[in-house]
Amino acid sequence: MSDTLQNLRIAGDDKMAGARRRRKKWPWIVAALVVLALAGWFMTPRTYVVEAATVGLAYPSRTVTELTASGYIVAQRKAALATKATAQLVWLGVEEGSRVKKGDILARLESADVEAAKKLAVHELSAARFQIASAEAELADATLQYNRMKKLSAGDYVARSEHDAAKARLDKAEAALSQAKASLAAREQALKKAEAERGYTELEAPFDAVVLTKNADLGDIISPLGASSTSKAAVVTIADMSSLAAEVDVSESSIEKVKVGGPCEIILDAIPGERFPGVVHMIVPTADRTKATVLVKVRFTTLDPRVLPEMSAKTAFLTRPLTPDETQPRLAVPAGAVIRRGEADAVFVMRGGKAVLTPVTLGDPLGDMRAVAKGLTAGEKVILSPPAELRDGDAVALAEG
């Protein structure tokens, strides 16, 4: 019995010793797993989610821009050509985009009635001239007759009644001549009125312009008031393209920064790659209470034929005129994309889903941009505010939104 108990005690001691040995191995196993995990994490390629901007052209005027405002291109001389007559449109000689000169006939209305009225006035004027000739002849004869009767009456060779009849005839002839002259003047005015009414049937260009819109077609009834749904008040709308200007809304709180004659740059959404020099032409002396803005008109220094009415435009109000060198754009990147690596400036360029560290030679600051003299080309994408741990060759992806 004692031997059996002794054997059991020894076996129990061996188990306890084995358990202690296993407990001593666990920390080493855990540490090994942690090391393997860290090694795997460092060795596994990581993808950084970043924001990027495109390398493009920036204008040096950004550094002297004091204020910007938005608006539209508006022709300062514009007309909707209509007529004082109500008639049918029978001829239209222009279309949208047609260039016209002052005095050109653009359209004609049906004019048979006014032509007839004009011919009637011409004939009545001729009749009035004949009446004057007849009255003048009658007056001449009556004058001679009166003079003879006057002499004969003085010598008592004729009765006094014959002298009085001659005098009455003379007075009547003078009155008839005056009436004929008044009738002639009236007929002349009637002819002028007929000619004016004839002119109302022709639409004439009041100045050199370009046709913007065609508002009526052949067969339409043109009425000066557009009284019905089937009548048209205007035939065409024209604009003097040399009078184009940018009309922009400037906040009331910033209007003191705008001065008449001040230099500007006009930027058109339709021509984004260019800027057009301008000058403040007018500050309209009233405010828009609904928007709390003041209308400012900016004229182009040199007009470009690509500029059209109603194009959206932005105007940059400058603190000083630009030098010739400052009118040319320069390659630039956002200042937030530039980092220092060692003694050189660099940016991370996105190429094939990788961040490529690219040394650059920087130029002058352009507002929130930096000019790039060397190292980049237009169209490349650079990473904005790159993470401090980002390295050359790391995988990158653009942030959504």
Considering 126-135, 288-297, 335-344, the range whose residues carry the highest mean pLDDT is: 288-297
Same domain, 84 and 219: yes
Tell me if 286 is assigned to some domain.
Answer: yes
Compute the distance between CA of residue 325 and CA of residue 329 in angstroms, rounded to an integer.
9
For the chain, percent helix, then strand, then coil, each to nearest 5?
A: 35, 35, 25
Residue among 307, 119, 302, 291 nearest 197 (CA):
119
pLDDT (tens digit per residue) in 31-76: 667 666 655 545 555 688 888 998 988 888 888 999 999 999 999 9
Arithmetic mean of pLDDT, 205-222: 91
Supply the CATH number for residue 386's domain: 2.40.420.20
CA quadruple 24, 29, 35, 37: dihedral sign = negative
Same domain, 122 and 187: yes
Its pTM stands at: 0.68
- Could you give the 3-state DSSP secondary structure of residue 102? coil
Supply the CATH number for residue 300's domain: 2.40.30.170
Tell me if 3 is assigned to some domain.
Answer: no
Strands 330-334 and 312-318: unpaired
Q: Which of these ranges, 28-32, 308-312, 314-318, has the smallest mean pLDDT?
A: 28-32
Tell me if 385 is assigned to some domain.
Answer: yes
Residue among 305, 105, 91 nearest 206 (CA):
105
Phi, psi for residue 174 in degrees, rounded to 5: -65, -40
- Could you give the 3-state DSSP secondary structure of residue 399? coil
Same domain, 105 and 207: yes
**Where among 180, 212, 239 does a domain terminate?**
239
Same domain, 212 and 142: no
Supply the CATH number for residue 82's domain: 2.40.50.100
Phi, psi for residue 93 in degrees, rounded to 5: -100, 10
Q: So what's the pLDDT on residue 1?
A: 47
Tell me if 1 is assigned to some domain.
Answer: no
Tell me if 6 is assigned to some domain.
Answer: no
**Where among 181, 211, 239 does a domain terminate?**
239
Arithmetic mean of pLDDT, 141-157: 84
Q: So what's the pLDDT on residue 87?
A: 87
**Where among 177, 200, 223 does a domain terminate?**
200
pLDDT (tens digit per residue) in 370-400: 899 898 988 999 999 998 888 898 898 888 7
Structural domain tally of the chain? 4
Same domain, 103 and 209: yes
Same domain, 119 and 196: yes
Q: Give the torsion through C-alpha atoms of 394, 395, 400, 401, to 10 deg.
A: 40
Q: Given pLDDT bands bounded at 50, 70 and 90, which one contains residue 5?
A: very low
| Domain with 152 in it | 111-200
Q: Which residue has the higher pLDDT, 47 or 96?
A: 96
Tell me if 370 is assigned to some domain.
Answer: yes
Tell me if 277 is assigned to some domain.
Answer: yes
Same domain, 105 and 208: yes
Residue among 71, 69, 61 nearest 252 (CA):
69
pLDDT (tens digit per residue) in 99-122: 999 999 999 999 888 888 888 989
Same domain, 208 and 84: yes
